Amino acid sequence: HNHLLGVATTMQHELQKHAPLLQGTISPAQRRAVASFVQAFQDYFDANPRFEQSYAPRSGETFKANLAQSQKKENENQKAYEDLKAAKDAEIAAGQEQMDTTTREPADSDEKCTG
């Protein structure tokens, strides 16, 4: 437990020492969790730990929300790309058709002149 006491003491000291620096990076809930650990660190390493603060569900929910938002944006971007590609393909086809028509017209004119 001496090692844990040292860890708890160091954490408390560093949090106090760097409080202004950590102000925006540690949430109040995280600060309370650390304070709770510092006050009763031995409870966190019992055979039946009482530390029930879990960030995983919130992190998982945030991840899922971010993933859904990213997938939605990706789908929108994919649709925009496909629309742009279709428009450009149509433009290319129209340009090709105009070139073919322009190329055939002088040939038709030449045939009429020689004919």
For the entire predicted model, the pTM comes to: 0.38
So what's the pLDDT on residue 31?
Answer: 80
The angle at the Cα of 96, spanning 85 to 99, to the nearest 5 degrees, equals 155
Residue 89 predicted with pLDDT over 90 = yes
DSSP per position, 33-93: HHHHHHHSGGGGGSSS------SHHHHHHHHHHHHHHHHHHHHHHHHHHHHHHHHHHHHHH
Structure-model confidence comparison of residues 105 and 21, the more confident one = 21
So what's the pLDDT on residue 93?
Answer: 93
Nearest CA to 36 out of 55, 20, 50, 18 is that of 50
So what's the pLDDT on residue 60?
Answer: 63
The pLDDT confidence band at residue 66, using thresholds 50, 70 and 90, is confident
So what's the pLDDT on residue 111?
Answer: 59
**pLDDT tens readout for residues 35-63:** 887 777 666 665 454 555 554 455 567 77
So what's the pLDDT on residue 28?
Answer: 82
